[in-house]
Each structure stands twice: as structure tokens, then as C-alpha cells.
Copies of this chain bind each other. A is one copy, B any other.
Amino acid sequence: MNKVKVENLLINFKTLEKFKRFREYGNQELSMLEDLQNNLIENNSESPFYGVYIGENLIARMSLYRIKEKYDNYFDPPQDYLALWKLEVLPDYQGKGYGKLMVDYAKSFNLPIKTSPRINSQGFWEKMGFQKAQYDLERDLGENPLIWLPQGVQEKAALPNHDDE
């Protein structure tokens, strides 16, 4: 993995074409494509996507978005944190450390991280130092949130059962 690095991906037709090779291509990508086609966003706009190129091939990607402290329901003390989603390495490149490279990049911001992977990848996330968040129905609904805590940060204590009103 000499010289391989994680980079922020700009939104342009070339990037969006490469995204089609990833399994979790969905509303988000289609929305970016439409916005580009309709000139609602400029060519080479910033995106929440980060990825790894090997030559001309985008072989891994993820989305990272900074959630503001006032919306933090996971960490103690409440603070800005990163939501991470769509971490995906193309099949031919799996098992070579690219997933870890991406997660290490996310950790380098030294903010707590929350993810809620769509596939059963518990083992990977545990190796990356993530732990299951305590499930809270009203907050998590259908999610299985996993969190990573930088030094000095704790998980928010569970609330006692309460009525919302």
C-alpha cells in the first residue's frame, strides 16, 4: 500500500460514474447526479465522500459528515461527531487493509464516530475499536449503531424509560 492515500472526492461526472461500481449506490448518488446535470451544483463541488484511488480506479470509499454538538445524542460530553456511512471496498481489493486505512483516516479527526452499517460486519468494526451503542428505540429505530470513542470521551449514559410528553 505504498503511497496509497485517502482523498476527498469531488463531485463530477467521472466520480459519479465510478460510484456505480459500489453496491451501496442509492438516492444520495442519484441526487448528486441530478444536481450536477441541472447545474444546481458546480462541477468539482465538494462532497462528503472520501476514497482511495489505485491508478485510475476508485477502489474504496466512504461518506463522512460532521454532526453538530446540538444534535449529539450519543456521546458524553456532548460534542461534534462524525457520521460515517457507505464504507465499502470493491471485492477484488478486500482483505488488503484498505478498510482499515479508511477508518484510520476518519479517526484522524479525533472526533467520536458513529456508524450504522447495513451489512453484518460486526467483526470488522470490533477490530477497528468500535463498540455497539446501547440501543435506544426512540433514537435508533431500525439502526444498529456502532461508536468509536477517542480518549476522554464516553458513551452517553442510557436514559431511564420515559414518556416523551
Contacts and interface: CB of A to CB of B under 8 A. Distances in A.
Interface in A9-57: 24, 26-28, 30-31, 40-41, 48
A140 interface: yes
Interface string A60-83: 000101001000000000000001
Q: How many copies does the complex hold?
A: 2
Contact of A27 (B31, B40, B132): B132
A142 interface: yes
A135 interface: yes
Interface residues of A, number: 31
Contacts of A40: 161
Contacts of A116: 142
